Structure formats: structure tokens, C-alpha cells
Amino acid sequence: MDNEPKKEGDNPERAFHPKVLLIWLAIFAAIVGLLMVQTEGIKPSQRSISSVNELLEAAKKKEIESATIQSDARGGEEWYVVKGKVSNPRFEQDSKQFKTLPFEVTGRITESDYKELRTALAGKLKEEPSSTIWTDLLFSLLPFLLIIGLLYFLFVRQLRQAGKGALNFGKSKAKLLTRDKDKVVFGEVAGCDEAKEEVAEIVDFLKDPKRFRKIGGKLPKGVLMVGPPGTGKTLLAKAVAGEADVPFFSISGSDFVEMFVGVGAARVRDMFEQGRKNAPCLMFIDEIDAVGRQRGAGMGGGNDEREQTLNSLLVEMDGFDGHEGVIIIAATNRPDVLDTALLRPGRFDRQVVLDLPDLEGRDAILQVHAKKIKLSEAVDLTKLARVTTGFSGADLANLLNEGALMAARRRKKMVEPIDLDDAREKISFGREHRRAMDDEDRKIIAYHESGHAIVQAVVDDGLLPIHKVTIIPRGQSLGSTMFTPTKDIINHSKRRLLNQICCAMGGRAAEELEIGDVTSGAAGDIRMATRLARNMVCDWGMSELGMLCLGDKQDQVFLGKELTRAQNYSEETARKVDAAIKDIIDVQYLRAVGIITERRTALDKIAAALLEYETIEGKHVHEILELGEIRSPITKDVPPEDPDEKAGEEQSQKETAKDDDVGGIEPGSEPAAVPA
């Protein structure tokens, strides 16, 4: 299995923000500027002017290059600051350095001294406005105020991004869906007619609550939607809000739980308060098992924060009046882990089950999603629904989308049946990947898959016909034998279960007959056969032990129950169970060996065909078994990733067929259906 690591850029809260870098650069520049301003002073001079008298003397000697005078109120009246440049007596002509030196003199300058200084400098003296205490204070504090402002801005923004505001931890994260933009109606939800009928009462209540109040009836406070992932629980909740035309608040169960104690409980209270203000409305909690798990669970006790959140949820639902017009709908695919107090009447007192769709449901779902995709007239959605047993609504939507993507890669204008078939194979069995294998490995895989195919072709009663046999690696398997169920399997009969175990053993039996040894390639087959045999003995009463339930499991550690499997039977019975499981597998293995031994010639021919063509269809297997040879043409698949090359090959094949008058199968012919 290819594990794709998570990318850091996929998390918006931890993504890199350029603004943060700019802010830090600005802070650094401000600090450097402040240090330069404060440390800037008079460089050590070889001739210092430290008094007003020395300044007057240098001015008389014409040694002052330039100067500025500014009154300083801090020293009192006639107190001045004189800055400027004085000629350097040790100036070296060759070096061209330090021709002048800066000076700064602070002291009392009388009126006469001022006139004398102006006369001596003769236009080299400039006057500047006098400084005050406030201006000095402003200029000295301005850099610090700038730095403090930048730091405050930076930390406040970071805190808000991390926790959505330090002062808003207790606010609910429920999102209000826009009625016009995100509106969903019952017509867009297919494959769950029974569930729609149950929630239709909620729509009627929200539209006309007086009709229920007159009779004295109260609508259930909460509705719990239960079903496997992808069956449309969230979509159905949106459709209820869309049909009733009321506000729809959506929140995930994980949004209540934070590392700070009390935050989840505060968010629960705030969410219910928002619901009361917007009544009548619908509040949807997705994946409620994140916060509603059984209290006191786990090896080390429960999470105090999560339990406080659950307690707050229980209290709020108890205090919720049914006449307020606020309805809680929650969704989960793990109802077994929910706290019993949450499921009692008065809280979530109605459960709506959304199971995997049947044939009619799959057909309706495909019809809904096919409206957005350009399909060829050759596409039969009813046939597609028949061969997608076990697909959920999300799987069917993904199937059509994958088919559209494959058609786009093949430069087609519409989706054709071959695109949907390839998409089905990719979803069900994984993407094809070419792996370098030597002749010995290819031979072992070919005989292994041939064993599966022969046994299934012999024992099948028409429920699981062979669709395709391939030695091209897909997903985690090095080869595959695919079946197409002709109908939805609801009940499992003992005869069919034994046939499945026998088919699983066919690969190992073929390996042993051909190479005289066994390989690890049958690990998945053995695992599946053991699981079926154990269910037959422990759960379904299909063994000599009789109709006993021996498979009561209590191994959910997170539920705070027993840490090991609860063995509610004796050791002697356990040995009988193990013996019964082993007996079932051994008998079916010998049965598979007998079937393959009688048809050894067909085994060799099917394996040879797989080595030559890599992929053959189920009809080819039956032709070899019945007629001794393949009579139907074999179509080799062309990878969809090379559309230009494929188009060139098609054109060359057509030209060759026209010139040489040789018949053949054109690429793009529709293959058989793929099992779910």
C-alpha cells in the first residue's frame, strides 16, 4: 500500500504567511535604526572643542567649516547647543581621510558671544528652531513605541490564527450555510427513500409547527443518522434544511474538543444559544462520536475535557424545549461507541439508518450525478448499477468522476463505457502498475490465477461469474481474478460460502500441482478463507457444533470493556471450534485439488494465455474449459496515459487493416463489467 505523506502546505493553520516575514523584517530594521540613532555620536577627535571659549577661538582662526546653533530650554536662558565641523590639524594629504572632524558644544552663550560668533563665521552659522522637552521626549520614545506596536500586532495576529482569538475560545464554530448558495433539496438526494420519509416529518414541522402543537404532539429533539461512510448522511441533513427553508448550522464533533479545559462545554452552550436566536432552525453535528463516546472509557480512564463537553451537550438537550423549533441532527458511522445517555428518549430519540443503496438506489444515484457529466449514448446506467454492488453514493459519484477524467486524458468529448469500466477496475482493485518480474514469477502468478479461474468457473451457480483474469499487478496484488455479481447478495448460503472457500484455495492448489511447492502469494486467500470459515462456525451455526453463537467479541479497548476477547465457552469447545475451522478449509482445499487435477490441460492453456496476453476475460476461460481453445478475440488494454501514442497506433492499425484486408478488433471496444 502506498502511503502518501501529508504535506505541510495542506494545513492552512501551519502554512507559511509572507506577512509574518515582512513584520519581522520591519521589527529588525527598527531595532537597528534605533541602535544607530542612539549610538551615533561624535567620533573621537584629535582636537576636541569642549567649551564655548574654544569654539570662539577656533571661529576667529577660521577653523570652523560649518556650524548650527540651537537653543536648549533644558539648560535655562542663553543656553545653546552648537554642532558642526572643525578642520583637522593632523590631516594627511595622501590618505584623504579626516579632513574635518565633527564637534558638539553645549553651554551658555551671551548676546555678545553670539554676535562675535556670527561675525567670525560669516555665513557658516545656521540657526535651528529651539527644541522642547516634549519634542525631545517624542523623538526618544518614538522608536520604542514603533517596536511595541509591531510586536503587539504580530503576537495578536498569531494568537488569533492559532486559536481563532484568545478571547473567542468559547464561541461556537458552527457555520451557517447560505440558503441560496448551499441549498439542497430532496430531489438531489437519491438511494435512501426510506430515510427521506422519516425526516419528512421534520420538514413538515418546521414549515407548519402549529399543526403539531394543536394535537399536542412534540417532534423528536434529536435525530441520529447512522450508516456507513458515503451513504449521504450529511447531504440528507442539508436537504431537510433546504426543504424547510430554515437556517442550517453545521459543525463537526471534533470542533468541540480543545486542549483547554472547559472550551468544549462553552462552545456547546454558545451553539445552542445561537440556535435559539435563529429558531426555527436546524443544527447538524457531523461525526458526533468524536465527542459523544462512552464516558469512563479506555485503559487509563476518559478524557476530562471530552466528558465535560458531553455532559454539557446532555444538559443542553435536556433543557431544550421541543416547541422552540430547533432540531438537532447528528451523524455517525459508529453508533456502538456512543454513550447510552445520549441515545435515550428525549435527546436523540430517533435513529435513521442509511445503508448501502440497492440496485434501484444505485441507479437513481447514478442518474443524479450523471446530469453533470457528458455521457455517450452507449452508456447504460442501469447496467452500471447492476455491477456496482457494495458501492456507496460517494463511491458512485467518484466512479463517474474517474470515468470523466479518463475520458479527458484520452482526448474524448464524451464518457464512453470503456472509460467507466476502467474507472471501476481502478476503484475496486487499484491502479495497474508494471512491475519488473522474471519468467519464473510470471509463471507462478499465471498458474495461481488460472487455479482461481478454473475452480470458480466449475463451482459457480451463476451468482458470481468470472469477469476477467489478469497477471498485471493491481494495488497490493500481483494478479487478480475478478467476478461480477449478478445481483445484490443479502443472505449467504452454506453452499455458496463453501464455494468461495474452495475458489480461494484454487490458487494454492494450482501452485502445488505445477511447481511442486507453495509460495507466499496465497496469504490473502488463506486469510479470507479462514475468516469465512470462522464466521460459519462461530456466528452462523454452519458446522457440526450446531447452532451456537461462539463469536461474542468484547475487545473494544476504547469502550472501557475487557482488554481481551471474551471467551464464553470452555477450552474443550475452543479446541472443537479450531478443529471445525481447519476441517472446512482442508476439505475445500482437497476439493479444489480434485477440480484442477481433472482439468489439468485447461489449467496449462489458461496459464499460457495469461503469459501471452496478460489479461483474458471470463468467456475465454469457459471456452477453454468447454472447447479446449480460445475462439473469441482478445483485446489488449492500452494505457490511457498515452493518448497521442494510442491515437497513432489506432490510425496505423486501421491503415494496415485497409491495405492488407486483415480483420481484427479495433481499440476502444467495450469490455465486460467489473465487480464491485
What is the DSSP annotation of 566-618?
---S-HHHHHHHHHHHHHHHHHHHHHHHHHHHHTHHHHHHHHHHHHHHSEEEH
Residue type, 579: A
Neighbours of 555 (CB within 10 A): 11
* Nearest partner of 234 among 253, 221, 250, 256, judged by Cα: 250
Answer yes or no: 449 catalytic.
yes
**Inter-axis angle of helices 600-613 and 494-515, to 10 degrees?**
80
All cell numbers assigned to 38? 542612539
In 487-522, where does DSSP find H-type helix?
A: 494-515
Which among 287, 402, 449, 623 is annotated as catalytic? 449
Q: What are the Cα distances from residue 464, in Å, to 389, 432, 488? A: 12, 23, 11
All cell numbers assigned to 308? 465535560
Q: Where are the beta strands (DSSP E) in 42-99?
A: 64-71, 79-87
Residue 125: beta bridge partners? 67
* Order of strands, sheet of 248-252, starting from the edge strand that comes earlier in the sequence: 175-177, 248-252, 281-286, 326-332, 222-226, 348-353
Tracing cell 455491477 back to the chain, one arrives at 387
Residue 106: beta bridge partners? 81
Neighbours of 271 (CB within 10 A): 22
What is the DSSP annotation of 196-208?
HHHHHHHHHHHH-
All cell numbers assigned to 186? 430532496
Give the active site residues.
Answer: 449
